[in-house]
């Protein structure tokens, strides 16, 4: 394998520590901070390294501790070099972009830790103080990322370069590719009849009236809500920001006054009512009651009969699979002949791990080109649907080859070329930038690049 592809350091801005600018609880009380290096006019603090180092240890990385610390330091040197260039080039990142990215990251951490209060308790800081600590860090990261993207934006790779890259890989280093699958599907969903919607709506209106008349919202949620995740908690959803819930749900939730009970709101899941119980900064918490719009047995029978007839038409040769997909399937894949797309990659190839187990066991027993008769399955958001599956391709585990795995090898080769472009950029910029590593232990790190000039 080429040295550039297998280099020790992965050049990227360290995302594992994007919350490390918020001082860790115990660390801040034990360490006297100091400047350990400068890149241009930008300083690197001892705490910048140690906070990220602590994040690594908390995730279970305990071997080669000094190597990890040196790798973190080199990644920070790279980030500061990018930032220095952004400052020289007057790169601009708007306040709105920073706020949006900050809210996205905070929402993720709140969802992981459980609530805004728990996040504040963990860091011993208010959400406003946490935002204040994060704002400059995120601004710097976004500036650096823009410069990094500019370095590689024009990097392209030709077929001959892909072949040369593959041919340079030692035989014993060629990666093993596990079995992969490509399949097409036709999906038919039973319709929700108007009377079913009316039933759900009428039921929730009755529940809302009882709450307005004095019944406890949380008690009614425990008794009647059909959202299993929140009903046991009295309908409470926990802290969330914008962009998490259904748009229709959020539009009403964020407009409520404290303690106010909403009118009925319809989403894909059914009908909701909600009560605002807390608003803190850009985050709110509501209780809600969901009455789902259910599919009737009649609708299920109609959908089952429809997909059975479609299957028979394909089997008889009256219509092709692709034509049937376009005419009858409710999935977006109908426009490309029914080819299923992997949501993780956006491509049409699935690994065994990326297919749900029930479907995998069926595909693994099928012949290429074979149709799987109509079957009931659970679509997203707990909705029942019927589908016909056709296995289009299945590969056996094998060593990567240009013939079978060109796209994968091309991506790896392109990343290798981008890595070399970044490496060349670092070499060029370190020659022209004042960089001073003051810490003697960090000076002795076995760096991938030469940061200080003689």
Mutual angle of helices 127-152 and 402-432, in 10-degree steps: 110
CATH architecture observed for domain 194-292: Roll (3.10)
Residues near 12 by beta carbon (within 8 Å), at least 6 away in sequence: 75
**Taking the CA atoms of the chain, what radius of gyration do you get in angstroms?**
28
Phi, psi of 426 (to 5 degrees): -60, -45
Residue 250 has a CB neighbour count (10 Å cut-off) of 19
Phi, psi of 36 (to 5 degrees): -110, -15
What is the model's pLDDT at position 291?
95
Whether the Cβ atoms of residue 16 and residue 59 lie closer than 8 Å to each other:
yes
SS (H, E, C) the chain: CCCCCCCCCCCCCCCCCCCCCCCCCCHHHHCCCCEEEEECCEEEEHHHHHHHHHHHHHCCCCCCHHHHHHHHHHHHHHHHHHHHHHHHCCCCCCHHHHHHHHHHHHHHHHHHHCCHHHHHHHHCCCHHHHHHHHHHHHHHHHHHHHHHHHHHCCCCCCHHHHHHHHHCCCHHHCCEECCEEEEEEEEECCCCCHHHHHHHHHHHHHHHHHHHCCCCHHHHHHHHCCCHHHHCCCCECCCECCCCCCHHHHHHHCCCCCCCECCCEECCCEEEEEEEEEEECCEEEEEEEEEECCCCHHHHHHHHHHHHHHHHHHHHCCCCHHHHHHHHCCCHHHHHCCECCCCCCCCCCEEHHHCCHHHHHHHCCCCCCCEEEEEEEEEHHHEEEEEEEEEEEECCCEECCHHHHHHHHHHHHHHHHHHHHHHHHHHHHHHHCCEEECCHHHHCCCCCCCCCCC
What is the model's pLDDT at position 263?
96
* Alpha carbons 108 and 32: distance in angstroms, whole number: 31
Neighbour-count burial for 20-45, b at 16+ CB within 10 Å, e otherwise = bbbbbeeeeeeeeeeebbbbbeeebe
CA 331 to chain centre: 22
Which residue, among 293, 369, 379, 376, has the nearest Cα to 332 in the 3D structure? 379
**Full pLDDT tens readout for the chain, 454 residues:** 333 433 333 333 344 445 555 544 444 445 578 999 999 999 999 988 988 888 777 776 666 777 888 999 999 999 999 999 999 999 999 988 998 888 888 888 887 787 787 888 888 887 888 888 889 889 999 999 999 999 999 999 999 999 999 999 999 999 899 899 999 999 999 988 899 899 999 999 999 999 999 999 999 999 999 988 899 999 999 888 888 888 999 999 999 999 999 999 999 889 999 999 999 878 899 999 999 988 889 999 999 999 999 999 999 999 999 999 999 999 999 999 999 999 888 889 999 889 988 899 999 899 999 999 999 998 866 688 999 999 999 998 999 999 989 989 999 999 999 999 999 999 999 999 999 999 999 999 999 999 987 6
- Beta strand 42-45 with 35-39 is antiparallel
Which residue, among 72, 68, 64, has the nearest Cα to 44 in the 3D structure? 72
Residues near 221 by beta carbon (within 8 Å), at least 6 away in sequence: 230, 231, 234, 235, 287, 288, 289
Structure tokens at 217: 């919202």
* Alpha carbons 269 and 379: distance in angstroms, whole number: 13
* Alpha carbons 414 and 165: distance in angstroms, whole number: 10
Structure tokens at 278: 């807390």
Instruction: Please state which CATH number belongs to domain 27-168+405-443.
Output: 1.10.4030.10
Q: Does domain 176-191+296-399 have CATH number 3.10.50.40?
A: yes
Whether the Cβ atoms of residue 237 and residue 285 lie closer than 8 Å to each other:
yes
The domains spanning 27-168+405-443 and 176-191+296-399 adopt the same CATH topology:
no
What is the model's pLDDT at position 115?
79
**Would you list the domain boundaries of the chain?**
27-168+405-443, 176-191+296-399, 194-292
Phi, psi of 225 (to 5 degrees): -65, 140
Which residue, among 234, 331, 249, has the nearest Cα to 284 in the 3D structure? 249
Structure tokens at 2: 């080429």
């Amino acid at each position: 394998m080429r040295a550039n592809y297998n280099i020790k350091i992965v050049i990227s801005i360290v995302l594992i520590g994007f919350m490390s600018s918020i001082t860790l609880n115990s660390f801040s009380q034990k360490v006297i901070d100091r400047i350990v290096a400068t890149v241009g006019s930008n300083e690197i603090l001892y705490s910048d390294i140690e906070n990220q180092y602590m994040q690594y240890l908390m995730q279970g990385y305990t071997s080669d501790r000094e190597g990890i610390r040196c790798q973190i330091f080199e990644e920070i040197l790279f980030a500061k070099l990018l930032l220095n260039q952004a400052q020289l080039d007057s790169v601009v990142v708007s306040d709105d972009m920073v706020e949006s990215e900050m809210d996205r990251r905070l929402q993720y951490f709140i969802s992981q830790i459980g609530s805004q209060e728990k996040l504040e308790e963990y860091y011993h800081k208010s959400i406003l103080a946490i935002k204040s600590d994060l704002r400059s860090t995120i601004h710097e990261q976004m500036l650096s990322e823009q410069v990094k993207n500019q370095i590689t934006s024009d990097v392209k790779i030709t077929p001959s370069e892909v072949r040369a890259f593959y041919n340079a890989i030692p035989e014993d280093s060629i990666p093993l590719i596990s079995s992969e699958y490509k399949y097409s599907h036709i999906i038919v969903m039973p319709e929700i009849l108007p009377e079913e919607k009316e039933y759900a709506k009428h039921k929730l209106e009755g529940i809302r009236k009882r709450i307005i008349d004095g019944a406890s919202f949380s008690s009614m949620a425990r008794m009647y809500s059909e959202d299993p995740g929140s009903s046991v908690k009295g309908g409470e959803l926990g802290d969330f920001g914008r962009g998490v819930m259904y748009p229709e749900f959020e539009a009403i939730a964020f407009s409520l006054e404290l303690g106010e009970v909403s009118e009925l709101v319809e989403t894909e899941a059914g009908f909701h009512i909600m009560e605002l119980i807390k608003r803190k900064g850009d985050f709110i918490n509501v209780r809600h009651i969901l009455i789902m719009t259910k599919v009737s047995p009649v609708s299920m029978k109609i959908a089952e009969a429809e997909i059975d007839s479609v299957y028979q038409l394909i089997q008889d040769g009256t219509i092709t699979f692709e034509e049937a997909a376009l005419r009858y399937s409710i999935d977006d894949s109908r426009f490309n002949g029914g080819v299923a797309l992997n949501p993780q990659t956006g491509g049409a190839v699935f690994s065994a791990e990326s297919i749900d187990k029930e479907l995998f066991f069926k595909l693994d027993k099928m012949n290429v080109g074979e149709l799987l008769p109509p079957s009931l399955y659970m679509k997203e958001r707990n909705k029942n649907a019927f589908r016909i599956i056709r296995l289009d391709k299945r590969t056996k585990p094998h060593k990567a080859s240009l013939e079978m795995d060109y796209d994968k090898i091309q991506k790896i080769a392109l990343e290798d070329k981008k890595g070399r472009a970044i490496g060349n950029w670092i070499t060029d910029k370190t020659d022209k930038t004042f960089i001073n590593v003051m810490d003697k232990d960090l000076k002795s790190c076995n760096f991938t690049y030469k940061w200080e000039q003689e």
